[in-house]
């Protein structure tokens, strides 16, 4: 097996080549992308700035903060029983990094970022919480936290188990997403969008589940994490997901139920040995089944005990916490004669770290180094090829060399323009084909996810209003609506809804009105979340576009190569197109639908009339009367849903949303394609300019043929004296 090259060795190759080109300056301009020194700078920059993003996500509270703290080996992030994290925290882990945090605020706050270096853990705890949970306004309106803090073992070159030559330049970015159990629709929507965006940027997702709530975790997919993860795995071969069963130590209680009734010590130990690992295995099987249900085969599953791993690593824990760790170790490991290694294996964190390190090295470190080595060697061999060309040219009779240079110059100034026009025409066709294709995808998805959903949203809103009018609270009404069959609701007529008579009906009507409008916004946001999955289809189009575009460029390159090889006896270098920068899905803004609910209160109706009070036996009463007021109609409360008006209102909101969004979305993708086209064609312009400069320089060299040949021999000697790695067969 061929030995893998290290980052250190790659840097030696770069330094040697850089020194060579500083001694023999390239003919190309300093600004040109064809300049070898610029190419080496780009290679070195990518080598020094390898990034790997790991997103920590959960559908429900699963102890994310404690899990991440166990990787630190100390309590850095705030960890409470309720959802605390109100913003995404980006954790940058590098060896010997300066421990600090940068706090970014919502643009509406009008505040500059704040850097924290003192009392870091205390300040992070305050900035990460929800605004309503903390009185001091300086901790409000936090949008994002960048935390610079090294993990204990993950890709940390200070760890003896990690090869520092290979790993020291990979920057690990852990992203702790906002808490999923946040209350309030505004928080839920904000946090779901943040989590989805983070997942689409991550290289690896750690999907956490709480062993104690595993069934509930698997039933709930409020944030659509399963769907988003499946989409990423299908479309991105370099994306991976690890399923983490946190709090696995709780399985001990399930395994050993009834053990305390056993009085004999040997029988007690035997009972525990026989039942060891039963419920841990069941938990793994549940995750496997859920993953298979969502189309994910052979999932990577890690049962871990973050809490006890943190206690084992953190030297600053209280005596009470240390006692908890000692008791857990004694009860379940020492009494069963299990070793310390078995205890560490059970906690699971060390295995997870080891596997993550190996995976990151394989998926990032090795790939980046292989690419870097290839491009460094390309620079070397291109220079070697250039010297061969010069040597061959200068070895020709002076008149023949000058004639060949004149032919090459004439070709670049004339025939190549015709070829370029032909290529430009083909590029225009390819660009138009894929911009039209992406536009069709966007329009079709908008029709599918928005326009066609108007009737469904209207019917769900009506059913929701019925449930609330009958006394259900907001959450109960939503759950009932989600399960209900609303297809038979008639949208062509107004619908009268009876109000719960046990409450203030006017207040109830207002409450229904308010909550129904909020529910409609939620339903439209669900449409938006479904739409954002369009990025997978668009990425496919980008992939095909890049393939067709590069094929067109290569065809032009082949023609150029044939023409120049007849004059300069040269071979053009391989064209490297830049990686495309995929446009993000544009922001969708929602307009609240106007109310289509009406509440009318008709007071009780009374009639007044004269009634005779005369008595036949009392002459004095004859002709007398009194006025009587009598209720002839009860008070009426009428709550009406104007179904056609509600549908029109939602439809208008959809139109407003689509009009403000569709053009921006299409333009963004068109701009991305144009940017790629411009940057790619610029590389060829640089190549042609470099060739023209080379021809001019060669003309001067031919005039001083003998002196130039001697200079060339010296240059050859210096190039061949570089590191032996350059001399292997390609």
Q: How far apart are CA 202 and CA 176, in angstroms?
A: 11
CA separation (Å) from 625 to 214, 608, 616, 619?
Answer: 80, 13, 14, 14
Residue 709: pLDDT above 60?
A: yes
How much of the chain exceeds pLDDT 70, in percent? 81
What was the pLDDT predicted at 210? Answer: 92
Tracing tokens 């906690």 back to the chain, one arrives at 347
Residue 355: pLDDT above 50?
A: yes
Q: How far apart are CA 649 and CA 729, in angstroms?
A: 71
3-state secondary structure of 633: strand
What was the pLDDT predicted at 730? Answer: 43
Residue 362: pLDDT above 60?
A: yes
Give the confidence band of 574 by pLDDT, cuts at 50, 70, 90: very low
Give the confidence band of 160 by pLDDT, cuts at 50, 70, 90: very low
Higher pLDDT: 38 or 584? It is: 38
Q: How far apart are CA 499 and CA 496, in angstroms?
A: 10
**Residue spans per domain, the chain:** 47-97+149-362, 453-520+600-641
Say which range, 252-261, 583-592, 721-730, has the weakest mean pLDDT: 583-592
Cβ within 8 Å of residue 423, ≥6 positions away: 552, 553, 555, 556
Tracing tokens 């997103």 back to the chain, one arrives at 55
Give 654-705 pLDDT, tens digit per residue.
887 787 778 888 888 888 888 888 877 777 777 777 777 777 777 677 667 6
Q: At what angle do helices 185-201 and 225-235 cross, to 10 degrees?
A: 20
Give the confidence band of 631 by pLDDT, cuts at 50, 70, 90: low
DSSP 169: T
Give 441-492 pLDDT, tens digit per residue.
888 888 888 888 889 999 998 899 888 888 888 888 998 998 889 988 888 8
Mean per-residue pLDDT, 98-115: 86
Give 204-219 pLDDT, tens digit per residue.
999 999 999 888 878 7
DSSP string, 251-274: HHHHHTTTGGG---HHHHHHHHHH
3-state secondary structure of 68: helix
Give the confidence band of 579 by pLDDT, cuts at 50, 70, 90: very low
Could you say which of 3.90.79.10, 3.40.50.300, 3.30.70.20, 3.40.120.10 is the CATH number of the domain covering 47-97+149-362?
3.40.50.300
Give 314-345 pLDDT, tens digit per residue.
888 888 888 999 999 998 898 888 899 999 99
CA separation (Å) from 573 to 114, 345, 387?
Answer: 48, 52, 14
Say which range, 30-39, 265-274, 420-429, 601-610, has the weakest mean pLDDT: 601-610
What was the pLDDT predicted at 146? Answer: 92
Higher pLDDT: 82 or 137? It is: 137
- Mean pLDDT value across the chain: 79
Q: Name, of 46-50, 486-490, 524-528, 621-625, the range with top average pLDDT.
A: 486-490
What was the pLDDT predicted at 713? Answer: 79
What was the pLDDT predicted at 125? Answer: 86
Cβ within 8 Å of residue 517, ≥6 positions away: 592, 593, 595
Give the confidence band of 575 by pLDDT, cuts at 50, 70, 90: very low
Q: Are 702 and 398 in contact (CB under 8 A)?
A: yes
Higher pLDDT: 725 or 406? It is: 406
């Amino acid at each position: 097996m061929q030995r893998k090259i290290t980052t250190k060795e790659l840097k030696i190759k770069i330094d040697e080549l850089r020194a060579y080109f500083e001694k023999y300056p390239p003919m190309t301009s300093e600004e040109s992308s064809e300049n070898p020194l610029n190419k080496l700078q780009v290679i070195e920059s990518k080598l020094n700035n390898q990034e790997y993003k790991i997103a920590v996500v959960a559908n429900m509270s699963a102890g994310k903060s404690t899990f991440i703290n166990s990787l630190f080996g100390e309590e850095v992030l705030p960890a409470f029983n309720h959802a605390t994290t109100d913003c995404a925290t980006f954790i940058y882990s590098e060896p010997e990094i300066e421990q600090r945090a940068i706090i970014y605020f919502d643009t509406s706050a009008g505040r500059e970022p704040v850097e924290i270096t003192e009392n870091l853990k205390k300040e992070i705890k305050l900035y990460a919480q929800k605004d309503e949970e903390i009185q001091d306004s300086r901790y409000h309106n936090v949008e994002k936290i960048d935390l610079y803090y090294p993990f204990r073992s993950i890709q940390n070159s200070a760890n003896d188990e990690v090869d520092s030559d290979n790993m020291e330049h990979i920057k690990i970015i852990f992203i702790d997403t906002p808490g999923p159990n946040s209350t309030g629709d505004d928080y839920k929507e904000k946090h779901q969008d943040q989590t989805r965006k983070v997942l689409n940027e991550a290289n690896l997702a750690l999907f956490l589940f709480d062993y104690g709530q595993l069934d509930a975790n698997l039933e709930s997919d409020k944030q659509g994490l399963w769907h988003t993860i499946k989409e990423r795995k299908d479309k991105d071969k370099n994306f991976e997901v690890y399923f983490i069963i946190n709090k696995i130590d709780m399985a001990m209680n399930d395994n050993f139920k009834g053990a305390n009734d056993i009085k004999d010590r040997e029988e007690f130990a035997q009972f525990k040995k026989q039942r060891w690992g039963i419920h841990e295995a069941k938990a793994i099987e549940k995750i496997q089944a859920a993953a298979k249900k969502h189309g994910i085969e052979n999932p990577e599953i890690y049962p871990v005990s973050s809490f006890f791993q943190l206690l084992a690593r953190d030297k600053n824990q209280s005596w009470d916490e240390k006692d908890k760790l000692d008791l857990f170790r004694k009860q379940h490991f020492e009494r069963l004669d299990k070793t310390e290694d078995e205890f560490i294996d059970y906690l699971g964190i060390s295995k997870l770290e080891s596997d993550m390190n190996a995976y990151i090295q394989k998926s990032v470190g090795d790939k980046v180094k292989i690419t870097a080595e290839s491009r460094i060697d390309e620079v070397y061999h291109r220079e070697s090829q250039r010297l061969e060309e010069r040597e061959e040219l200068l070895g020709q009779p002076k008149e023949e060399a000058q004639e060949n240079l004149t032919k090459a110059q004439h070709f670049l100034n004339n025939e190549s323009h015709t070829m370029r026009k032909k290529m430009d025409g083909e590029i225009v066709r390819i660009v138009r084909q894929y911009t039209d294709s992406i536009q069709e995808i966007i329009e079709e998805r908008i029709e599918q996810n928005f326009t066609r959903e108007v009737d469904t949203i209207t019917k769900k809103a009506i059913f929701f209003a019925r449930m609330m009018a009958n006394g259900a609270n907001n959450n109960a009404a939503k759950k009932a609506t989600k399960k209900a069959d609303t297809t038979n609701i008639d949208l062509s007529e107004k619908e009268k809804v009876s109000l719960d008579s046990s409450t203030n009906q006017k207040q109830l009507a207002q409450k229904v009105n308010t909550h129904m409008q909020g529910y409609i916004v939620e339903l439209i946001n669900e449409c938006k979340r479904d739409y954002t999955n369009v990025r997978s289809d668009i990425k496919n189009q980008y992939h095909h576009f890049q393939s067709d575009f590069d094929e067109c460029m290569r065809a032009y390159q082949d023609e150029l190569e044939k023409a120049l090889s007849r004059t300069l006896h040269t071979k053009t270098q391989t064209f490297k197109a830049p990686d495309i920068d995929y446009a993000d899905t544009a922001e969708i803004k929602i307009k609240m639908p106007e109310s289509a609910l009406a509440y009318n209160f008709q007071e009780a109706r009374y009639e007044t009339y004269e009634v005779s009070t005369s008595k036949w036996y009392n002459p004095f009463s004859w002709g007398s009367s009194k006025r009587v007021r009598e209720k002839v109609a009860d008070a009426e409360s009428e709550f009406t849903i104007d179904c056609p008006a509600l549908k029109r209102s939602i439809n208008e909101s959809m139109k407003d949303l689509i009009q403000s969004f569709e053009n921006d979305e299409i333009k963004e993708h068109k701009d991305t394609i144009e940017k790629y086209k411009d940057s790619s064609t610029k590389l060829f312009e640089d190549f042609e300019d470099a060739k023209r400069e080379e021809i001019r320089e060669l003309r001067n060299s031919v005039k001083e043929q003998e002196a130039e040949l001697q200079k060339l021999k010296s240059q050859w000697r210096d190039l061949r004296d570089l590191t032996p790695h350059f001399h292997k067969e390609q």
